[in-house]
């Protein structure tokens, strides 16, 4: 493309270069270690705009505040599990993390989320994931009798009360 244009306030095309937050993408690529021969860019890589993250989180906060709605902002780690992104979201005021695996629980805690602000969700939770989430003090979403049974076993094993959410599906015979 020859013309200059803006994709969003954070991404633009100027003078033949694509920019993210006023830095050329080629400059960002040049700063990455080469995985192939010297002089070639590491590819693919994920590029996120810090200012866009700030805008998005700010927009959610503002919308809830304008309506006086009690809320907690949460992030589904399965969308992007980059540790840098998780730390940034935490810094911006995202209060809880929703995980679907034991690995994601660990990522959330390592990124600064309190275990009590981590929710282990999903219908494929393994007993070891349930056990480690109960031990850490995370909240577990109970989706099945299997989950409930393993949460009770983990609670008894560690002598802890588990924090749980119970999902009810109307019009579905349990």
pTM of this structure = 0.80
The answer to whether position 154 is within a domain reads yes
Distances (CA, A) of 111 to 74, 93, 115, 154, 174: 14, 13, 11, 25, 37
The answer to whether position 101 is within a domain reads yes
The answer to whether position 22 is within a domain reads no
The CATH number of whichever domain residue 119 belongs to comes to: 3.20.20.10
The answer to whether position 146 is within a domain reads yes
- pLDDT tens digits, residue range 45-96? 778 899 999 999 999 999 999 999 888 999 999 999 999 999 999 999 999 9
The answer to whether position 1 is within a domain reads no
The answer to whether position 21 is within a domain reads no
- Phi, psi dihedrals of residue 76, rounded to the nearest 5°: -85, 110
The answer to whether position 5 is within a domain reads no
The answer to whether position 83 is within a domain reads yes
Domain limits at 124? Answer: 72-166
- pLDDT tens digits, residue range 123-154? 889 999 999 999 999 999 998 888 899 999 99
* Number of domains the chain contains: 1
């Amino acid at each position: 493309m020859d013309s200059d244009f803006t994709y969003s306030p954070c991404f633009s095309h100027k003078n033949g270069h694509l920019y993210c937050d006023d830095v050329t993408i080629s400059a960002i690529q040049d700063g990455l270690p080469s995985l192939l021969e010297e002089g070639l860019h590491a590819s693919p890589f994920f590029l996120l705009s810090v200012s866009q993250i700030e805008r998005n989180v700010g927009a959610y906060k503002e919308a809830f505040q304008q309506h006086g709605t009690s809320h907690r902002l949460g992030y589904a780690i399965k969308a992007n599990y980059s540790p840098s992104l998780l730390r940034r979201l935490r810094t911006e005021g995202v209060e809880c993390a929703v995980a679907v695996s034991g690995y994601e629980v660990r990522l959330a805690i390592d990124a600064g989320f309190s275990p009590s602000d981590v929710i282990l969700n999903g219908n494929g939770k393994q007993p070891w994931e349930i056990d480690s989430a109960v031990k850490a003090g995370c909240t577990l979403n109970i989706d099945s009798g299997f989950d409930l049974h393993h949460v009770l076993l983990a609670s008894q094993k560690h002598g802890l009360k588990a924090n749980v959410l119970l999902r009810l599906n109307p019009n579905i015979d349990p």
